[in-house]
Protein backbone atom coordinates (compact mmCIF):
# COMPACT_ATOMS: atom_id res chain seq x y z
CA UNK A 1 0.00 0.00 0.00
CA UNK A 2 0.89 3.72 0.21
CA UNK A 3 2.79 3.33 3.51
CA UNK A 4 4.98 0.62 2.02
CA UNK A 5 5.58 2.70 -1.10
CA UNK A 6 6.79 5.64 0.98
CA UNK A 7 9.04 3.40 3.05
CA UNK A 8 10.63 1.72 0.05
CA UNK A 9 11.78 3.88 -2.88
CA UNK A 10 11.74 0.83 -5.14
CA UNK A 11 7.99 0.40 -4.70
CA UNK A 12 7.45 4.17 -4.90
CA UNK A 13 8.89 4.31 -8.40
CA UNK A 14 5.98 3.70 -10.70
CA UNK A 15 4.98 4.16 -14.30
CA UNK A 16 4.05 7.76 -13.60
CA UNK A 17 7.68 8.66 -12.87
CA UNK A 18 8.86 7.36 -16.26
CA UNK A 19 9.30 9.76 -19.17
CA UNK A 20 8.65 8.51 -22.75
CA UNK A 21 12.22 9.32 -23.74
CA UNK A 22 13.52 7.04 -20.93
CA UNK A 23 11.70 4.10 -22.50
CA UNK A 24 13.64 4.60 -25.72
CA UNK A 25 17.03 5.20 -24.10
CA UNK A 26 16.99 2.49 -21.43
CA UNK A 27 13.96 0.15 -21.62
CA UNK A 28 15.45 -2.30 -19.10
CA UNK A 29 15.71 0.37 -16.43
CA UNK A 30 12.16 1.53 -17.11
CA UNK A 31 10.80 -2.00 -16.72
CA UNK A 32 12.73 -2.34 -13.47
CA UNK A 33 11.13 0.85 -12.14
CA UNK A 34 7.62 -0.01 -13.27
CA UNK A 35 7.52 -3.51 -11.76
CA UNK A 36 8.11 -4.72 -8.18
CA UNK A 37 10.57 -7.25 -9.67
CA UNK A 38 14.24 -6.95 -10.56
CA UNK A 39 14.65 -8.23 -14.15
CA UNK A 40 18.26 -9.27 -13.50
CA UNK A 41 17.30 -11.26 -10.41
CA UNK A 42 14.42 -12.88 -12.30
CA UNK A 43 16.84 -13.89 -15.06
CA UNK A 44 19.27 -15.34 -12.50
CA UNK A 45 16.41 -17.31 -10.95
CA UNK A 46 15.34 -18.63 -14.35
CA UNK A 47 18.91 -19.84 -14.98
CA UNK A 48 18.95 -21.66 -11.65
CA UNK A 49 15.53 -23.16 -12.36
CA UNK A 50 16.66 -24.38 -15.78
CA UNK A 51 19.70 -26.02 -14.18
CA UNK A 52 17.38 -27.68 -11.66
CA UNK A 53 15.33 -29.24 -14.48
CA UNK A 54 18.47 -31.18 -15.40
CA UNK A 55 19.65 -31.87 -11.84
CA UNK A 56 16.92 -31.25 -9.29
CA UNK A 57 19.28 -30.79 -6.36
CA UNK A 58 20.77 -27.67 -7.96
CA UNK A 59 17.69 -25.77 -6.73
CA UNK A 60 19.18 -25.96 -3.22
CA UNK A 61 21.72 -23.42 -4.43
CA UNK A 62 19.06 -20.77 -3.82
CA UNK A 63 20.85 -19.37 -0.72
CA UNK A 64 23.59 -18.08 -2.99
CA UNK A 65 21.24 -16.06 -5.18
CA UNK A 66 19.26 -14.80 -2.20
CA UNK A 67 22.39 -13.43 -0.52
CA UNK A 68 24.35 -12.20 -3.51
CA UNK A 69 23.08 -9.33 -5.62
CA UNK A 70 22.09 -5.71 -5.48
CA UNK A 71 18.92 -3.95 -4.47
CA UNK A 72 16.66 -4.43 -1.49
CA UNK A 73 16.43 -8.00 -0.27
CA UNK A 74 12.58 -8.30 -0.36
CA UNK A 75 12.53 -7.32 -4.01
CA UNK A 76 15.54 -9.52 -4.82
CA UNK A 77 14.04 -12.51 -3.00
CA UNK A 78 10.66 -12.17 -4.71
CA UNK A 79 12.33 -11.80 -8.10
CA UNK A 80 14.62 -14.81 -7.68
CA UNK A 81 11.84 -17.06 -6.38
CA UNK A 82 9.61 -16.01 -9.25
CA UNK A 83 12.30 -16.73 -11.84
CA UNK A 84 13.35 -20.05 -10.30
CA UNK A 85 9.78 -21.33 -10.05
CA UNK A 86 8.97 -20.87 -13.74
CA UNK A 87 11.14 -23.69 -15.20
CA UNK A 88 10.42 -25.98 -12.24
CA UNK A 89 6.67 -25.51 -12.58
CA UNK A 90 7.08 -26.28 -16.26
CA UNK A 91 8.92 -29.51 -15.40
CA UNK A 92 6.22 -30.54 -12.92
CA UNK A 93 3.51 -29.81 -15.49
CA UNK A 94 5.38 -31.94 -18.02
CA UNK A 95 5.64 -34.80 -15.52
CA UNK A 96 1.91 -34.68 -14.82
CA UNK A 97 1.07 -34.54 -18.53
CA UNK A 98 3.32 -37.50 -19.44
CA UNK A 99 3.15 -39.73 -16.35
CA UNK A 100 0.25 -38.50 -14.20
CA UNK A 101 2.68 -37.82 -11.32
CA UNK A 102 4.34 -34.63 -10.09
CA UNK A 103 7.67 -36.45 -9.77
CA UNK A 104 8.68 -38.90 -12.47
CA UNK A 105 7.91 -42.46 -11.25
CA UNK A 106 10.93 -43.77 -13.12
CA UNK A 107 13.15 -42.72 -10.21
CA UNK A 108 11.19 -44.83 -7.75
CA UNK A 109 11.08 -47.80 -10.14
CA UNK A 110 14.84 -47.60 -10.67
CA UNK A 111 15.39 -47.38 -6.93
CA UNK A 112 13.35 -50.52 -6.26
CA UNK A 113 15.14 -52.40 -9.02
CA UNK A 114 18.64 -51.39 -7.97
CA UNK A 115 18.16 -52.00 -4.25
CA UNK A 116 16.78 -55.48 -4.98
CA UNK A 117 19.41 -56.50 -7.54
CA UNK A 118 22.69 -54.67 -6.89
CA UNK A 119 23.28 -55.84 -3.28
CA UNK A 120 23.48 -59.42 -4.57
CA UNK A 121 26.36 -58.55 -6.92
CA UNK A 122 27.92 -55.58 -5.12
CA UNK A 123 27.28 -55.91 -1.36
CA UNK A 124 29.84 -53.19 -0.61
CA UNK A 125 27.43 -50.59 -2.07
CA UNK A 126 25.40 -50.97 1.14
CA UNK A 127 21.97 -50.40 -0.39
CA UNK A 128 19.03 -50.93 1.95
CA UNK A 129 15.68 -51.83 0.30
CA UNK A 130 13.79 -50.91 3.49
CA UNK A 131 15.17 -47.35 3.46
CA UNK A 132 13.86 -44.48 1.36
CA UNK A 133 15.29 -43.23 -1.92
CA UNK A 134 16.38 -40.16 0.10
CA UNK A 135 17.30 -41.22 3.62
CA UNK A 136 19.53 -39.54 6.24
CA UNK A 137 20.85 -42.97 7.22
CA UNK A 138 22.81 -43.04 3.95
CA UNK A 139 24.79 -39.96 5.00
CA UNK A 140 27.73 -41.65 6.82
CA UNK A 141 28.57 -44.15 4.08
CA UNK A 142 28.10 -41.65 1.26
CA UNK A 143 30.14 -38.98 3.02
CA UNK A 144 32.91 -41.52 3.40
CA UNK A 145 32.77 -42.23 -0.33
CA UNK A 146 32.80 -38.54 -1.26
CA UNK A 147 35.77 -37.61 0.94
CA UNK A 148 37.78 -40.77 1.66
CA UNK A 149 37.20 -43.50 -0.95
CA UNK A 150 40.60 -44.52 -2.43
CA UNK A 151 41.27 -46.06 -5.85
CA UNK A 152 41.78 -49.79 -6.16
CA UNK A 153 45.31 -50.34 -4.89
CA UNK A 154 47.15 -53.43 -6.20
CA UNK A 155 43.95 -55.11 -7.47
CA UNK A 156 44.18 -58.87 -8.15
CA UNK A 157 45.83 -59.68 -11.49
CA UNK A 158 44.16 -62.03 -13.97
CA UNK A 159 47.58 -63.70 -14.28
CA UNK A 160 49.45 -63.59 -10.92
CA UNK A 161 52.79 -63.97 -12.73
CA UNK A 162 52.26 -60.84 -14.85
CA UNK A 163 54.28 -57.74 -13.99
CA UNK A 164 52.25 -54.74 -12.90
CA UNK A 165 52.05 -51.67 -15.12
CA UNK A 166 50.56 -48.20 -14.78
CA UNK A 167 47.81 -48.61 -17.39
CA UNK A 168 47.49 -52.39 -17.70
CA UNK A 169 43.78 -53.26 -17.17
CA UNK A 170 44.69 -56.86 -16.24
CA UNK A 171 47.44 -56.06 -13.74
CA UNK A 172 47.70 -52.38 -12.73
CA UNK A 173 49.25 -50.69 -9.74
CA UNK A 174 46.21 -48.45 -9.30
CA UNK A 175 42.80 -48.43 -10.92
CA UNK A 176 39.90 -46.00 -10.37
CA UNK A 177 36.81 -47.37 -8.67
CA UNK A 178 33.68 -47.37 -10.80
CA UNK A 179 31.46 -46.61 -7.79
CA UNK A 180 33.33 -43.41 -7.01
CA UNK A 181 36.45 -42.03 -5.42
CA UNK A 182 37.30 -39.28 -2.97
CA UNK A 183 36.67 -35.81 -4.34
CA UNK A 184 39.78 -34.63 -2.49
CA UNK A 185 41.94 -37.21 -4.28
CA UNK A 186 40.57 -36.65 -7.76
CA UNK A 187 40.39 -32.84 -7.48
CA UNK A 188 42.74 -31.71 -4.68
CA UNK A 189 42.49 -28.15 -6.00
CA UNK A 190 39.13 -27.86 -4.25
CA UNK A 191 41.07 -27.64 -0.98
CA UNK A 192 42.01 -24.10 -1.96
CA UNK A 193 38.44 -23.09 -1.11
CA UNK A 194 39.29 -23.54 2.56
CA UNK A 195 41.34 -20.34 2.44
CA UNK A 196 38.16 -18.36 1.71
CA UNK A 197 36.18 -19.68 4.69
CA UNK A 198 37.60 -17.03 7.02
CA UNK A 199 35.18 -14.56 5.41
CA UNK A 200 32.12 -16.71 6.17
CA UNK A 201 29.49 -14.56 7.84
CA UNK A 202 31.21 -11.35 6.75
CA UNK A 203 31.09 -11.76 2.96
CA UNK A 204 27.76 -12.42 1.27
CA UNK A 205 29.59 -14.04 -1.64
CA UNK A 206 31.45 -16.52 0.57
CA UNK A 207 28.49 -17.16 2.87
CA UNK A 208 26.12 -17.76 -0.04
CA UNK A 209 28.56 -20.10 -1.80
CA UNK A 210 29.18 -22.13 1.37
CA UNK A 211 25.46 -22.48 2.09
CA UNK A 212 24.80 -23.54 -1.51
CA UNK A 213 27.56 -26.17 -1.47
CA UNK A 214 26.49 -27.60 1.88
CA UNK A 215 22.77 -27.62 1.01
CA UNK A 216 23.22 -29.35 -2.34
CA UNK A 217 25.78 -31.83 -1.00
CA UNK A 218 23.58 -32.73 1.98
CA UNK A 219 20.64 -33.66 -0.24
CA UNK A 220 22.87 -35.61 -2.62
CA UNK A 221 24.50 -37.54 0.22
CA UNK A 222 21.11 -38.71 1.44
CA UNK A 223 20.42 -40.31 -1.95
CA UNK A 224 20.73 -44.08 -1.96
CA UNK A 225 23.12 -44.16 -4.93
CA UNK A 226 26.16 -41.97 -5.44
CA UNK A 227 26.64 -42.73 -9.10
CA UNK A 228 28.09 -45.55 -11.14
CA UNK A 229 30.91 -45.91 -13.68
CA UNK A 230 32.42 -42.55 -12.81
CA UNK A 231 35.78 -41.00 -12.15
CA UNK A 232 35.69 -39.31 -8.78
CA UNK A 233 32.40 -38.15 -7.34
CA UNK A 234 30.09 -37.09 -10.15
CA UNK A 235 27.38 -35.63 -7.90
CA UNK A 236 29.89 -32.89 -7.08
CA UNK A 237 28.99 -31.39 -10.47
CA UNK A 238 25.77 -30.16 -8.83
CA UNK A 239 27.62 -27.86 -6.44
CA UNK A 240 30.82 -27.35 -8.45
CA UNK A 241 29.85 -23.84 -9.72
CA UNK A 242 29.58 -22.58 -6.15
CA UNK A 243 32.65 -24.47 -4.97
CA UNK A 244 34.58 -22.99 -7.87
CA UNK A 245 33.86 -19.51 -6.52
CA UNK A 246 35.29 -20.50 -3.15
CA UNK A 247 38.37 -22.02 -4.78
CA UNK A 248 38.90 -18.86 -6.82
CA UNK A 249 38.55 -16.65 -3.75
CA UNK A 250 40.95 -18.93 -1.88
CA UNK A 251 43.52 -18.65 -4.68
CA UNK A 252 43.15 -14.87 -4.64
CA UNK A 253 43.68 -14.77 -0.88
CA UNK A 254 46.72 -17.06 -0.93
CA UNK A 255 48.22 -15.63 -4.09
CA UNK A 256 48.04 -17.44 -7.44
CA UNK A 257 51.80 -18.01 -7.59
CA UNK A 258 52.19 -19.54 -4.15
CA UNK A 259 53.81 -23.03 -4.33
CA UNK A 260 50.85 -24.62 -2.53
CA UNK A 261 48.38 -23.19 -5.07
CA UNK A 262 50.45 -24.32 -8.04
CA UNK A 263 50.99 -27.76 -6.51
CA UNK A 264 47.28 -28.43 -5.86
CA UNK A 265 46.21 -27.17 -9.29
CA UNK A 266 48.92 -29.21 -11.04
CA UNK A 267 48.01 -32.30 -9.01
CA UNK A 268 44.36 -31.93 -10.07
CA UNK A 269 45.36 -31.76 -13.75
CA UNK A 270 47.63 -34.81 -13.49
CA UNK A 271 45.09 -36.92 -11.57
CA UNK A 272 42.30 -36.08 -14.00
CA UNK A 273 44.54 -36.90 -16.98
CA UNK A 274 45.16 -40.27 -15.32
CA UNK A 275 41.40 -40.71 -14.93
CA UNK A 276 40.72 -39.84 -18.58
CA UNK A 277 43.21 -42.47 -19.77
CA UNK A 278 41.63 -45.08 -17.52
CA UNK A 279 38.16 -44.08 -18.67
CA UNK A 280 39.17 -44.82 -22.26
CA UNK A 281 40.84 -48.11 -21.30
CA UNK A 282 37.82 -49.30 -19.31
CA UNK A 283 35.29 -48.12 -21.87
CA UNK A 284 33.59 -45.64 -19.58
Check: CB of residue 67 under 8 Å from CB of residue 203.
Answer: no
**CA pair distance 186, 168, nearest whole angstrom:** 20
Q: Hey, which bits of 100-245 come out as E strands? A: 152-153, 174-175
- The pTM for the full model equals 0.82
Give the residues across from 175 on adjacent strands. 152
**CA pair distance 189, 186, nearest whole angstrom:** 9
Distances, alpha carbon 163 to alpha carbons 67, 166, 175, 279, in Å: 56, 10, 15, 22
- What's the confidence (pLDDT) of residue 70? 75
- What's the confidence (pLDDT) of residue 50? 97
- What's the confidence (pLDDT) of residue 74? 86
Distances, alpha carbon 120 to alpha carbons 117, 144, 145, 217, 274, in Å: 6, 22, 20, 28, 31
- What's the confidence (pLDDT) of residue 228? 79
Number of other CB atoms surrounding residue 170 within 10 Å: 12
Walk along the chain (284 residues) in steps of 10 and give the mean pLDDT of each run.
35 41 55 70 95 94 90 88 96 93 85 79 80 92 93 92 92 92 95 96 95 97 87 93 96 94 97 95 90
Amino acid sequence: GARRALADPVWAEGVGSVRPLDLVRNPGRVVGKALPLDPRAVAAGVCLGLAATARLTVVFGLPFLLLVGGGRWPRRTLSILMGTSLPILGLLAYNVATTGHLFHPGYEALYRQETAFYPLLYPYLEYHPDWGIEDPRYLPQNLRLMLLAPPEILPPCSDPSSPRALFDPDCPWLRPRDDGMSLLLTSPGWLLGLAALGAYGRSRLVTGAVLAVVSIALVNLMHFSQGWVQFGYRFSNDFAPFLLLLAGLGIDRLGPRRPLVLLLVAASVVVNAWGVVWGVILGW
